[in-house]
Amino acid sequence: MHGPDLVSWLLAALTAASGGYCLSRLRRAPCAPAAVPASPGAGHSRAHAHQSEHESGHASGHASGHESDLAEGLMGCGMAAMAVAGTAVPGEVWAWVYGPPAVLLLLAAVRRPDRRAHRLHHAVGALAMTYMALAMTAGPGHAGHHAAAGWPALTGALLAYFGGYALWSGSRLLSGSGGTVAAVSTGLPRACRLAMGIGMFAMLLTM
């Protein structure tokens, strides 16, 4: 990325820490399903059906959470690598890194209505990373000059999107419920999403 080395390293540290935390959440174990007391006859059947439904919903939510953690972790680590390596790596390499996940996320968002907004957001992030890499390696500033790269209209639209996302994430973080457990379970993931939104905004500004 263009810009002072100190800014690039700070951005890399911020996004790497956020991505690393998201990847570390993949190791968390699912919560044990609530025990349902046995009861005779039809009552037992209804209780068993309720327990099966609860376990199925819990497994689905847990898998969706892992999907988000994986996408956010890879995005954060990739942003850190791009902030440090920048144009030293050919834009085509970055395109192959971020292009296929973006396509898969878009297809998943179309086919599955659950967590569609999350998948679309991650797809936009992956496409934005591909766009920045290709624009800066193909533009007149790739040899060390600080000339503008890419299409100003698209860059402005992405800046508006990630700037708005950062503001929205920050407002959710500030309005979150108190308590140590709540801070760990919801506050840290929201803080990581805020950090990556700010990081993406900063990377777009350096184009």
What string of DSSP letters covers 125-170? HHHHHHHHHHHHHHSTTTTS-----S-HHHHHHHHHHHHHHHHHHH
Q: What is the pTM of this model?
A: 0.72
The whole-number mean pLDDT for each consecutive block of 10 residues of the chain, a chain of 207 residues, reads 71 90 75 44 47 43 67 88 81 86 90 85 92 75 50 94 93 68 63 90 86
Give the pair of three-digit tokens for residue 87.
Answer: 């144009």
pLDDT at position 158 is 96
- DSSP, collapsed to helix, strand or coil, labels residue 29 as coil
- Find where tokens 């973006």 sit: 102
Cα separation of the two ends of the chain? 7
